[in-house]
């Protein structure tokens, strides 16, 4: 059974296995530097459906099925799942996972969702009550853009700090510890941090303080330093937020600059893909984790990574009322070895 060593940090007793995982992305993400690592790249933005919301739902469904297939599992082998997405009323989760008939606990953490679902799956499994639990999430450029910003056909000019919501989905199946790694060693539940950023086109700045909080808390609670990890990875701070995070932690005497990566920054080729401050969206870090990093931890290329998905808890309604954007981030320590 996991041990709670502080208010909100937990160490696993018998680190659960990430038994299998999959990532599926759209064309632009497939054209990026990580393209060859994903399980599938769809050239059709609609994924064979007739709306963007249905497209995203289909992408999520396909990703869960791929993760099951890669792990030699059927949907009946998964006891329940933690899932969420960016669309209003978690449309993608409800419609994409509807036909799987797997008991569902839907979560919402904006772009922090993959860390939230993965930490809950891990805590449940390590507590001996979980069984096989899936953690899944997704985002889609077209469905997100019209919901959060402007209709695509409006052709609005994007600001330099704006990020590009990735069309991408990731799924991981967490099981009781087996010989199959990687393993989840510890987690920290984040809290809302709001430093007053009001610009919906500068989400990186809104999220960076929450990431700084959870990284500092995780390290301090466990008596670790950045050097204990090969990499400290944020979800989608992008170039603006990533720079800010390094500065915020440096002010606390924590230097992560030599081992810092951001999934949103890694997803695209800045020179040629016109994504401004980088990729974003729930599916961004979920697909980079499940398509790229988990393989590298499984192989031992990385021994220990700290995965900190970052969410901007913005609301289109209340942002228009002048409110600032709260951020949240949760941390998950993923390790090559069991011990």
Segment 133 to 162, residues that bind its own copies, using CB under 8 A: 147
Q: ∠ at Cα 94 (93, 100), nearest 5°?
A: 85
Half-sphere exposure in the Cβ direction for 126 (13 Å, CA): 25
Q: Are 235 and 290 in contact (CB under 8 A)?
A: no
Strand, coil or helix: what is 148? helix
Residue 190 within binding range of its own copies, rule CB under 8 A: yes
Nearer to its own copies, 89 or 299 (CB): 89
Q: Are 299 and 319 in contact (CB under 8 A)?
A: no
Query: Using CB under 8 A, which of the segments 39-47, 151-159, 169-177, 310-318 binds its own copies?
Result: 310-318
- Binder among 87, 294, 305, 332 for its own copies (CB under 8 A): 87
- What is the spatial distance between Cα 280 and Cα 238, in angstroms, rounded to a whole number? 8
Residue 129 within binding range of its own copies, rule CB under 8 A: yes
Q: Are 312 and 328 in contact (CB under 8 A)?
A: no
Query: Using CB under 8 A, which of the segments 37-45, 89-97, 175-183, 236-244 binds its own copies?
Result: 89-97
Nearer to its own copies, 277 or 312 (CB): 312
Nearer to its own copies, 86 or 233 (CB): 86
- What is the spatial distance between Cα 111 and Cα 258, in angstroms, rounded to a whole number? 24
Residue 210 DSSP code: H
Residue 233 within binding range of its own copies, rule CB under 8 A: no
> What residues line the site for its own copies (CB under 8 A)?
1-4, 7-8, 10, 50-51, 53-54, 79-80, 84, 87-91, 93-95, 97-98, 101-110, 116, 120, 123-124, 127-131, 147, 189-192, 194, 313-318, 321, 323, 326, 328
């Amino acid at each position: 059974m996991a041990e709670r060593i502080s208010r909100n940090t937990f160490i696993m007793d018998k680190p659960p296995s990430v038994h299998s995982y999959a990532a599926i992305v759209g064309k632009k993400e497939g054209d990026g530097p990580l393209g060859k690592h994903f399980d599938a790249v769809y050239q059709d933005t609609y994924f064979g459906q007739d709306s963007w919301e249905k497209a995203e739902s289909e992408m999520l469904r396909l990703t869960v099925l791929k993760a099951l297939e890669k792990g030699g599992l059927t949907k009946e082998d998964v006891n329940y799942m933690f899932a969420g997405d960016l669309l209003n009323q978690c449309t993608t989760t409800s419609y994409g996972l509807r036909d799987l008939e797997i008991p569902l606990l839907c979560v919402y953490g904006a772009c922090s969702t993959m860390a939230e679902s993965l930490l809950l799956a891990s805590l449940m499994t390590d507590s001996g009550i979980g069984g096989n639990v899936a953690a899944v999430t997704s985002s889609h450029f077209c469905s997100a853009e019209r919901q959060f910003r402007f209709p695509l056909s409006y052709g609005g000019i994007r600001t330099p700090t704006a990020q590009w919501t990735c069309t991408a989905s990731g799924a991981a199946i967490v099981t009781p510890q087996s010989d199959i790694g990687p393993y989840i060693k510890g987690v920290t539940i984040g809290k809302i941090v709001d430093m007053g950023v009001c610009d919906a086109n500068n989400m990186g700045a809104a999220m960076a303080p929450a990431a700084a909080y959870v990284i500092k808390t995780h390290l301090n609670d466990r008596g670790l330093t950045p050097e204990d990890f090969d990499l400290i990875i944020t979800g989608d701070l992008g170039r603006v937020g990533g720079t800010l995070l390094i500065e915020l932690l440096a002010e606390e005497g924590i230097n992560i600059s030599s081992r810092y990566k951001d999934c949103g920054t890694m997803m695209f080729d800045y020179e040629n893909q016109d994504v401004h401050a980088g990729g974003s969206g729930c599916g961004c870090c979920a697909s980079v984790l499940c398509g790229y990093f988990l393989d590298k931890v499984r192989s031992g290329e990385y021994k220990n990574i700290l995965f900190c998905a970052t969410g901007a808890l913005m609301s289109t309604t209340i942002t228009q009322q002048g409110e600032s954007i709260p951020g949240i981030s949760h941390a998950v320590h993923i390790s090559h070895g069991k011990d």
